[in-house]
A and B are shown apart, each in its own frame.
Chain A
Amino acid sequence: MVAQYFNEMYDSDKLRPPYRTLEGWYQKMPAEFRAIKQAEAEDLFRRYGITFAVYGEGGDPDRLIPFDMFPRVFTAEEWRRLERGIKQRARALNAFLSDVYDRGEIIRAGRIPADLVYRNEAYEIAVAGFRPPLGVFSHIVGIDLVRTGPDQFYVLEDNCRTPSGVSYMLENREVMMRMFPHLFQENRVAPVDGYARLLKRTLASVAPEKCERDPKVVLLTPGHYNSAYYEHSFLADLMGIELVEGQDLFVEGDFCWMRTTEGPQKVDVIYRRIDDAFLDPLCFRPDSTLGVPGLMNVYRSGGVTICSAPGAGVADDKAIYTFVPEMIRFYLGEAPILENVPTWQCAKADDLKYVQEHIAELVVKEVHGSGGYGMLVGPKADKATIEAFAAKLAANPSNYIAQPTLALSTCPTFVEEGIAPRHVDLRPYCLVGRDIELVQGGLTRVALTEGSLVVNSSQGGGVKDTWVIAEE
């Protein structure tokens, strides 16, 4: 059973080179020492205040995401290919967004059905015809990748709105360097701590043309009750920018202003971590108290830049996902470097028939779902669950897509009895502004339960430090 998954450390019992020094490290680690280190790690995370609240679960709002000390390692060569693939995808997704809010050439060319775009819930009619600075819509693109073999990677999904988790990438590294400094002496691990500087530079590079000074960048958060608040404040701090809530901003004249102890100050770029729907009660949901009334008017008249641009969500929809390789060919004239997972659109009769016949082998997901909710992992589910899900599918087929159950790679992970392989995925964070940037690393999520393929932190997943070994 275990042999059918690609183990990133032991390829058919042979130690793979990037993990060379780690074998001795874990084998020589006494159990008591490991327990001490694990407690130390937990203590560090608590002290940094890195906690994660799960929506709608109640319970401890100061819950920690479990951190696994066993790092996940890539060679420079592996990473180079991933990097090219990720950047290519980020370029294509942005090209797609500028196109569908402009002339829609890809639709005119018949490569993507018009309905899928224009009738998509995430298509934002309020910004149709508006071109944001440099034509960039999605400034931070999180691309979820899984691996099934030494050279086989698949893109599971794209996140073009406000992908979260990057603070874990940074803090996991901090904690590892503090606890196991010798590992970093033995391995030349590429640093990730330039991320915040790159992010700030990216955001400043898309300031509106009206801005004729050093741009004032702020991070807009829904507030400290949000589950990702820690990350918001962490990033704002690293970038040295104000962390604002909707109540701290107001619109007057053609600009957006911030309330300060010295009176109102003009804001040029807003890195928002709230959803489109809450941005501006005058334009979107009228009951939103998280946003800023009138903000969209200022945005559309070029007084302020909003990152990611409102409407960017139409590119990361699960139904659009299928067409990303097509976008790469259409806009860039290149062959896709990273593959998509084969996907069945349940909206299509043929696909639906196939899915219904093979539901026990497939992963079925809601088109608009996220966070590992509303999905069925066929091979892991019991009969009753499958039947219940099949009924939901039959009732509203167009709400679902299906994919084969992938043989996700595993990485050694500390478990009670020692180490054991556990399934992992990877989310790198690609930055798009004047340049396209990617730090060498990302967030590795790990399914801590034996055999589980669901890595979402809301479903009991953990995280690992992710290493890219620098080139000699």
Chain B
Amino acid sequence: MLSRTAANLFWMTRYLERSETTARLLDLGFRNALLPNSGGGYRNEWSAILQSKGALDQFTEKYGELKQRNIESFLFFDMDNPSSVASCISAARENARIVRTALTTQVWDAINLSFQELKALGRRERSSLEVPELTDWSLRTAALIRGAIESTQLRNDGYRFMNLGYALERADNTARLLDVKYYVLLPSVAYIGSGLDNYQWTTLLRALSAHRAYNWAYGGELSAAQIAHFLILNPKFPRSLLSCCIELNAHLDHLARVYNRSTPAQEAARNMLGELAEARIEDVFDEGLHEFLSRMIGENAGLGKCIEDQYLIGEAR
């Protein structure tokens, strides 16, 4: 497969996953803003959310004050924001358009349709659009595209690169979402265990579509350790870091087999898997949740770079 094609497929799915995450963050912020604040008024965690996307400075530069309406537009429609849903869907579609020959009609249809629908949403009166409609649309679209990929794509190397993109981005996003909650939303330990805190944990689980799954897996009691375990170390939850890491290894191993060549990318992925598979949640808290998540984000990015060097540039022999 052409290296450039592999790169487009890899980035296509990264953008798709990223658009879904932005939509989830938007949902998280929206739900949090419905919560009463302990000091009167409502809670406002928008700045934390923007910070997790590394977009706080850009936002304040463009809009100034943190007005909810503006933040919603910024996260969903704003083409100046590279991780807005609109930017990500457009970038994914552009990548898909370049490599249409590597996609099935159903996959292209699903991606192209999402782009057309997005344009239609953009033409509608902003006041007629509520956040839940936008986030529902995003999640449904993401599921539609992923479903088309799963049910129609040939299981060839292109399919592996698409899944590598998904898994790598997903690991990054789960780590970041969790980091927002822990690192920024709760600077004071006093909140932990309070009713308000529970509501926020639930919101986080909801934003990851993990609310019911968590209840099934842990019997309904919310605790920081269990939630962290669920999102980081539980191999049954498809967005946990461990699940993503298992995916990454499976697809990289497949590439190594069909290309008959193992590369430093496989090695890096195996190291990450080794750590996550062995770790206990106590270890994570001993290291410090934020410190652990930052390290994981870094290692994950390193793996991404490695995949790029080995496969996406076309110089490795």
- Expressed in whole angstroms, the Cα–Cα distance for A242 and B157 within the complex equals 14
Residue in chain B with minimal CB distance to A265:
B2
Residues of A within 8 Å of B100, CB to CB, are: 49, 233-234, 237
Residues of B within 8 Å of A12, CB to CB, are: none
Interface centre among A260, A261, A262, A263 (most CB of B within 10 A): A261
Chain A nearest Cβ from B243, distance in angstroms: 25
Interface residues on A, range: 20 to 34
A329 in contact (CB, < 8 A): no
B314 in contact (CB, < 8 A): yes
Query: Contacts A260-B314, A261-B259, A261-B311 hold; do A248 and B98 have CB atoms under 8 A apart?
Result: no
A-B contact count (CB 8 A): 64
Question: Which of these, B99, B116, B314, contacts A261 with CB under 8 Å?
Answer: B314
B108 in contact (CB, < 8 A): yes
Chain A nearest Cβ from B4, distance in angstroms: 6
A233-B101 in contact (CB<8A): yes
- Expressed in whole angstroms, the Cα–Cα distance for A110 and B313 within the complex equals 55
B97 in contact (CB, < 8 A): yes
Interface hits, B92-137 → A, CB 8 Å: 94, 97-101, 108-109, 112-113, 116
Residues of A within 8 Å of B316, CB to CB, are: 263
Interface hits, B1-26 → A, CB 8 Å: 1-6
A47-B101 in contact (CB<8A): no
Residues of B within 8 Å of A449, CB to CB, are: none
- Expressed in whole angstroms, the Cα–Cα distance for A359 and B161 within the complex equals 61
Chain A nearest Cβ from B141, distance in angstroms: 15
A146 in contact (CB, < 8 A): no
A224-B3 in contact (CB<8A): no
B62 in contact (CB, < 8 A): no
A263-B4 in contact (CB<8A): no
B317 in contact (CB, < 8 A): yes
Chain A nearest Cβ from B13, distance in angstroms: 16
Interface centre among B2, B94, B99, B261 (most CB of A within 10 A): B2
Residues of B within 8 Å of A46, CB to CB, are: 112, 116
A244-B2 in contact (CB<8A): yes
1/0 per position for B178-216, CB-CB distance to A under 8 A?
Answer: 000000000000000000000000000000000000000
Interface hits, A228-255 → B, CB 8 Å: 229, 233-234, 236-237, 242-245, 247-248
1/0 per position for B303-317, CB-CB distance to A under 8 A?
Answer: 000000001111111
Residue in chain A with minimal CB distance to B160:
A261
B112-A49 in contact (CB<8A): yes
A261-B101 in contact (CB<8A): no
Question: Which of these, A47, A229, A261, A264, contacts B6 with CB under 8 Å?
Answer: A261
Residues of B within 8 Å of A295, CB to CB, are: none
Interface centre among A236, A244, A258, A263 (most CB of B within 10 A): A263
A80 in contact (CB, < 8 A): no
Query: Contacts A224-B98, A236-B101, A237-B101 hold; do A261 and B112 have CB atoms under 8 A apart?
Result: no
Residue in chain B with minimal CB distance to A259:
B314
- Expressed in whole angstroms, the Cα–Cα distance for A115 and B136 within the complex equals 69
A49-B97 in contact (CB<8A): yes
1/0 per position for B65-100, CB-CB distance to A under 8 A?
Answer: 000000000000000000000000000001001111
- Expressed in whole angstroms, the Cα–Cα distance for A262 and B260 within the complex equals 9
A258-B109 in contact (CB<8A): no
Residue in chain A with minimal CB distance to B8:
A224
B3-A260 in contact (CB<8A): yes
B2-A258 in contact (CB<8A): yes
A248-B3 in contact (CB<8A): yes
Chain B nearest Cβ from A254, distance in angstroms: 19
Give the 5 A-B CB pairs with smallest separation, nearest first.
A259-B314, A237-B101, A233-B100, A261-B311, A224-B98
Which residues does A use to contact B, with CB under 8 Å?
A: 46-47, 49, 224, 229, 233-234, 236-237, 242-245, 247-248, 258-264
16 pairs of residues in contact across A and B, judged by CB atoms under 8 Å:
A49-B97, A49-B112, A233-B97, A233-B100, A233-B101, A242-B2, A242-B5, A244-B2, A258-B2, A259-B3, A261-B161, A261-B259, A261-B311, A262-B1, A263-B316, A264-B314
Sample of 14 more A-B contacts, CB < 8 Å, known A237-B100, A260-B1, A262-B261: A233-B100, A234-B100, A244-B2, A245-B4, A248-B4, A258-B2, A259-B2, A259-B4, A261-B1, A261-B3, A261-B161, A261-B314, A263-B316, A263-B317
